[in-house]
Amino acid sequence: MQLLRHTLVHRMPLYVFLGVLFLVGVVFGALMVNALTLEQQQELGRYLNNFFVSVGQDGGAADPTLTKFWEIASLHLKWAALIWICGLSVIGLPGILVLNFLKGVLIGFSVGFVVGQYSWRGLLFALVSVAPHNAVVIPVLLVCSVAAMTFSIQMIKDRMLLTRRPSGFVKPFVSYAGLTAVMMLLLLGSASFETWVTPVMMRWVTPLLTSAGAA
């Protein structure tokens, strides 16, 4: 906890920078919806309609299993692992920025398309299906990203100063790996919510969407 508090307080400029970058990605993803052709929008609309009907009729996504949990968890853990690996190398620093921007694009596109298709009903669906678990996932990935950037920048400084003391490298590396491991545990908790709670919330909302599609 002390390490996390230190990271939050002393790395605030990096948090602000990455937060803005993520928001830019969200806006860019939402604008990408307007770039879709009419045929592409109709195809995605049909897919969503079929998905909502399946959820409303037979539970569809509301029949969670342990396999489903690990599918969701592995997706989040792989994203955090990519950020961690990028932080281990000097050339991986731009990759951290790209991953944060891309995460924003994916969320912005998903929410933007659903809202564009279903108006306030789509916004309601996004609030129950996208927002809850991402309220944990996004801050966790930001913490991982800031830790990765901090470690990578420190490696750059050490190389520029030609400081190659093994003892001076071990402690920052252990702290970096330990913080990432804690964040991954939080991602597992988010995956549990997404697996067993989110589908129930989706079943409450999908009748509104299927009726809108039928209309």
- End-to-end C-alpha distance for the chain, whole angstroms: 52
pLDDT, residue 49, reads 82
- pLDDT confidence of residue 147: 92
Question: pLDDT tens-digit profile of 99-137?
Answer: 999 999 999 999 999 999 888 888 999 999 999 999 999
Q: What is the pLDDT of residue 167?
A: 53
What is the 8-class DSSP label of residue 64? Answer: -
Alpha helices, DSSP H, located in the chain: 2-10, 12-32, 38-58, 66-87, 93-129, 131-160, 166-196, 198-214
pLDDT attached to residue 62: 44
Cβ atoms of 128 and 52 within 8 Å: the answer is no
Q: Which region, left, alpha or beta, applies to residue 36 given φ > 0 means left and ψ of -120 to 50 means alpha?
A: beta
Q: CB 175: neighbour CB atoms within 10 A?
A: 16
Asked whether the beta carbons of 187 and 80 are under 8 A apart, the reply is yes
pLDDT for 136: 96
Rg of the chain's alpha carbons, rounded to an integer? 20
Integer Cα distance of 195 and 74 in angstroms: 12
CA distance 126 to 121: 9
Residue ranges of the chain with per-residue pLDDT less than 50:
60-62, 214-215
DSSP state of 184: H
**Domain locations in the chain as residue ranges:** 2-214
